[in-house]
Amino acid sequence: MIGMLNALIDLVESGSGDDLDVSRFARDHGSTEYHLRRMFSALAGMPLSEYVRRRRMTLAAADLVAGAPTVLDVAVRHGYSSAEAFGRAFRAVHGISPVDARRDGGPLRTQPTLRFRLSVEGSTPMDVTITPTSELVLVGHAARVPLIHEGVNPHIQAHIAAIPPDEHARLKRLSDAEPAGILAITGDIAPDAPEGTELTYLHGVSVRPDTPVPDGLDSMRVEAGAWAVFAASGPFPETLQRLWAATATEWFPSNPWRLRPGPSIVRYLEFTGTHASCELWLAVESA
């Protein structure tokens, strides 16, 4: 995985970032676009598309400061058909216009070339079980919420608080498949979506495909397959968020599994509001 990510960086640096075929690159390296994008985003702290954009604008800024004849020359060189489109992209990264950069030399926000390295330290103890499941239907109450990487997501909190207590009890009675009990389910999001992107949050349970589902509940159908189940216990939500990061930095690079498309599921075994014992279920397949 680390070698594959560095090969992807080399491809971007070779000038192929403008028309980068990530799906083909992943296939050529024995992986999938879904897994590659999720691992890149988790390890780099930004989506692949954002890294490509930042690198392109870094090189464009260097051309302007070095005395390029015109802004349009630089725009075309870096894949833009008009100076206007290039100007918008340039300002979004650097905070100034290309004309200002060419005249004043900055200030500029450069994106250094990334290089991934694997440091296996065992800093995060990981209790992991590979669990196969049949086809699942996840049912409950869904809401569209923004992706927030750190801290409590107040939009999810508000959604859960709006569900009456007796409805929580009804959902728990409906659960008849693993993972059992009330679940926090996130889905319907691109593998490398940036923070703030909307996703579907489902507060619900897992049921068998033939279980009758009451009217008024939202649902997600999940294909049969394997799940990597990561167990953790500690302060909430820090422990869960550190566990998310550790799957990318420590577990996936060291194990013969990769992510497959599907929702992520958190099963709370014990929850006091500030402390949680939980399981993180991620859909996986053999790498």
Question: According to the model, what pLDDT value does residue 1 have?
Answer: 78
Report the largest interatomic distance among the alpha carbons of the chain, rounded to a whole angstrom.
71
Question: Which pTM does this prediction carry?
Answer: 0.76
Q: What is the pLDDT of residue 78?
A: 85
Separation of alpha carbons 268 and 280, rounded Å: 9
36 vs 6: CA distance, rounded Å: 11
Cis peptide before 107 (omega within 30 of 0): yes
Residue 247 β-bridge partners: none
- pLDDT for 146 equals 94
Mean pLDDT, the chain cut into blocks of 10 residues (287 residues total): 88 74 92 92 87 89 84 86 88 89 82 77 69 94 91 92 93 94 92 89 95 93 94 86 82 87 92 85 93
**What pLDDT does residue 262 have?**
92
User: Contact at 8 Å (CB) between 2 and 253?
Assistant: yes
Q: What are phi and psi of 32, to 5 degrees?
A: -130, 155
- Looking at residue 152, its pLDDT comes to 84
